[in-house]
Amino acid sequence: MNSIPLIIMAAGVSSRMKKSSITKNMTKKQINQSNSRVKGYIQVAEGKEPLIFYLIKNSINAGVKEFYIIVSKNSQEFQEYLKSLENRLEISINFAIQDFYGNSKPLGTSDAIFQTMNQYDELIKTRFLVCNCDNLYSVNAIKTLLGESNYNSMIAYDFEYLEFSNERLSSFSLLNIENNFLSEIIEKPDIEFIRNHSKKKYVSMNIFSFKGSEIYKYLRDCPINTIRGEKEIVTAIQNMILENKKSVIAFPLCEHVPDLTYKDDLEKISKFLD
């Protein structure tokens, strides 16, 4: 087993999920959970485990044994479920509580990782993986990042294999890659930009490997996005590669990533797992 830990970001307020339309096949339990729980804690598939369970299982199969899970302060039930997995799956789980600074939603992904590193300063001195709680990354993707020890790294997903519409692509980050290194990361490009993008479309699904000592200052100094009002990991990474063009190596991958953003994604993920 690998000694590299995985940080899972699970403190979001799931606003797009809550606002999305109810589908005809949803059960009352699914409706209630999709309107009240963080996305990774919503039960999926016949096994009725939350999505984060399957993400943790894939991570274990890739070689991860230690997890840092970022949650909000009002998440006791979620934390109790996660702690129950320690003995069941023979893993270690640490919680980082993301401070919302008195606001109704967190300050973004960059702030989430920064707060976690401040709560667990061992992360500043080591390498770690980080990902969302609402995407089901494959064992292959996680293993690929675990295998790179010289650089910060990320998975660059070939958009043709993700099975999403162009409209959905506009909610991700578009990547430019030169000589295997990330040269530019464009957060939430508009549809017109996507249509005029002549290069092969690679996107980020927010799964990375970072050297704590290298990423820390960019997380700390990350400015707030003036449009979305958040400190985004995309901004921190872009600032890092502006200072060092060989900061982040990108691994192209051609595979689908089940993504839980809207209520109608529940049925798709359940079919994928079944």
* Nearest one of 194, 150, 203, 155 to 176, comparing CA atoms: 203
Q: Mind listing the pLDDT tens digit for each residue in 110-150?
A: 999 999 999 999 999 999 999 999 999 999 999 999 999 99
pTM: 0.95
For residue 94, list its beta bridge partners. Answer: 68
Range 38-53 average pLDDT: 91
Distance CA 190, CA 171 (A): 9
Query: Which span out of 15-29, 58-72, 223-237 was modeled with the highest average pLDDT?
Result: 58-72
Residues 140, 147 contacting (CB under 8 angstroms): no
Residue 166 confidence (pLDDT): 73
Q: Mind listing the pLDDT tens digit for each residue in 75-86?
A: 999 999 999 999
Q: Mind listing the pLDDT tens digit for each residue in 145-172?
A: 999 999 999 999 998 898 887 777 777 8
> Please, which pLDDT band fits residue 236 given cuts at 50, 70 and 90?
very high
Instruction: Give me the residue label for tokens 């369970």.
Output: 53
Residues 6 or more apart whose CB falls under 8 angstroms from that of 185 comprise: 173, 174, 175, 176, 204, 234, 237, 238, 241
Residue 115 confidence (pLDDT): 98
SS3 of residue 36 by DSSP:
coil
Q: What domains does the chain contain, in order, with CATH numbers? A: 6-273 (3.90.550.10)
SS3 of residue 247 by DSSP:
coil
Rg (CA), the chain: 18
Residues 6 or more apart whose CB falls under 8 angstroms from that of 70 comprise: 7, 8, 9, 10, 11, 95, 96, 97, 98, 112, 113, 115, 116
Q: How far is CA 126 from CA 79, 93, 149, 215, in A?
A: 25, 17, 11, 11
Residue 198 confidence (pLDDT): 61
Residues 249, 152 contacting (CB under 8 angstroms): yes
Residue 2 confidence (pLDDT): 65
Distance CA 44, CA 273 (A): 8
Structure tokens at 186: 């464009």
What DSSP assignment string belongs to 219-234?
HHTPPPPTTT-S--HH
H or E, element range at 67: strand 66-71
